[in-house]
Amino acid sequence: MKLHREGYLIMAIAFVLLAGVHVGNYFLYQSLGWTWLYALLTVAEIVMMYLVVQFFRVPNITPVFGEYDILCPADGKVVVIEETEENEYFKDRRIQVSIFMSPLNVHANFNPISGIIKYVKYHKGLFLVAWHPKSSTDNERSTVVTQHSSGKEVLFRQIAGAVARRICYYVEAGQQVKTGSEYGFIKFGSRIDLFLPLGTTINVKIGDVVKGRITKIGELTKD
Minimal CA–CA distance to 113: which of 136, 145, 83? 145
Q: Give the full edge-to-edge strand order of the sheet including 201-202.
A: 69-71, 216-219, 201-202
Q: Which residues face 156 on adjacent strands?
A: 144, 194
Is residue 190 part of the annotated active site? The answer reads yes
Sheet strands (E) in the chain: 2-3, 57-58, 69-71, 76-86, 92-101, 108-110, 115-123, 141-147, 153-160, 166-169, 176-177, 182-187, 190-196, 201-202, 209-210, 216-219
Catalytic, out of 98, 114, 135, 190? 190
Residues assigned a catalytic role: 190
